[in-house]
Amino acid sequence: MSQPTLSKQIHTLETALGAPLFDRHPGNVRLTTVGETLLPLARRIVTDADAARHAVQEIVGLRRGRVRLGATPSLCTSLVPGVLRTFREHHPDVELHVHEGGSQDLVVDLIAHALDLALIVLPDQGSDPALHTERILRESLVVASVAAGPPPTTSDRLALGELRDTPLVMFRVGYDLRTATIEACRRAGFTPRYAVEGGEMDAVLAFVEAGLGVALVPGMVLANRPLLRATPLAAPGVHRTIALARRRESVLPHAATALRETLLDFIAAGPLPAGVHVIQTPPAPSPAPI
């Protein structure tokens, strides 16, 4: 910086503070009392500015940061662990916060800025206009029954109408799979009977393992459940669409953008469980400006 420019900036600072910072004499310039008071504060400001610059550079370079992901219970027990393991291998210092909940609750949290991303089940009537949703997976539902008991059908595939007189283990009110099950049974021409209702994924699977009834669940959740049998449904079957959602008006932070890319790479690399198919790989959104 040239001397005239420096002198001008000092004069501007003195005007803003309302007091001179230097005693100026020919051949001699000294700090005033005000200048001596400001000096340690100025040094602290410079140090803080350097620290702030370093912190931002670390976040931009993904040496640290934070990402808040929401996911349904079925995805938290199937897809999400592998995705987070892969992400952690590449970005070990980024904080990961996972919130498990139903799709409706996750949408509320996204809109309230409590989440950066959420894996949700898209409703038949479309998603909330405040959200940008990327359809990533199409998943077939299967009938889960206790492996030690008799199968729910003698065929390779079960027609949903065969469950007319079979007690079901039903999810709680507001849970995505409850709505899907009831609607599928309605289309098959009957109203389901409940053996027990009110649980979320882990509870429903435990109730089925106990022999209380059968349940309509995503095939992915049965991968590590040796006590349960998965019976595919006959055509047309029951399917659901998994989407990655974010707020439409917001630009993703760098850490969230990296997690999204990890997720898409993970499902593209496969293999995926039977009945799960990749829908598409959409273009990445622009990272947040710094």
Let me know: does 120 contact 243? Beta carbons within 8 Å.
Answer: yes
Domain boundary among 57, 79, 94: 57
pLDDT in tens, 251-279: 888 889 999 999 999 999 988 776 788 88
119 and 245 in a single domain? The answer is yes
Do 39 and 104 belong to one domain? no
User: Are 246 and 128 part of one and the same domain?
Assistant: yes
Strand spans (E) along 15-75: 22-25, 28-31, 65-71
Question: Is residue 81 located within the same domain as residue 192?
Answer: no
Please tell me the total count of domains within the chain. 3
**What local confidence, expressed as pLDDT, does residue 99 receive?**
96
Kindly report the CATH number assigned to the domain that includes residue 121: 3.40.190.10
Is 284 a domain residue?
no
In a domain, 117, yes or no: yes
CA distance 171 to 173: 7
pLDDT tens digits, residue range 103-118?
A: 889 999 999 999 999 9
Angle at which helices 254-269 and 80-90 cross, to 10°: 120
User: Environment class of residue 74 by beta-carbon count within 10 Å: exposed (0-12), middle (13-18) or buried (19+)?
Assistant: buried
> What are 190-211's pLDDT values in tens digits?
999 999 999 889 999 999 999 9
What value does the mean pLDDT of the chain take?
Answer: 87
* Residue 234 within a domain: yes
Same domain, 110 and 225: no
Question: The domain containing residue 40 runs over which residues?
Answer: 3-57
Both 49 and 72 in one domain: the answer is no
Does 48 fall in a domain? yes
Report the percentage of the chain scoring pLDDT > 70. 90
**Same domain, yes or no, for 201 and 143?**
yes
Are residues 53 and 80 both part of a single domain? no
Q: What is the pLDDT of residue 186?
A: 94
249/122 same-domain check: yes
DSSP 212: S
Q: Provide the residue type at 26 as one letter.
A: P
Q: How many CB atoms lie within 10 A of CB 35?
A: 18
Number of H helices and number of E strands within the chain?
8, 12
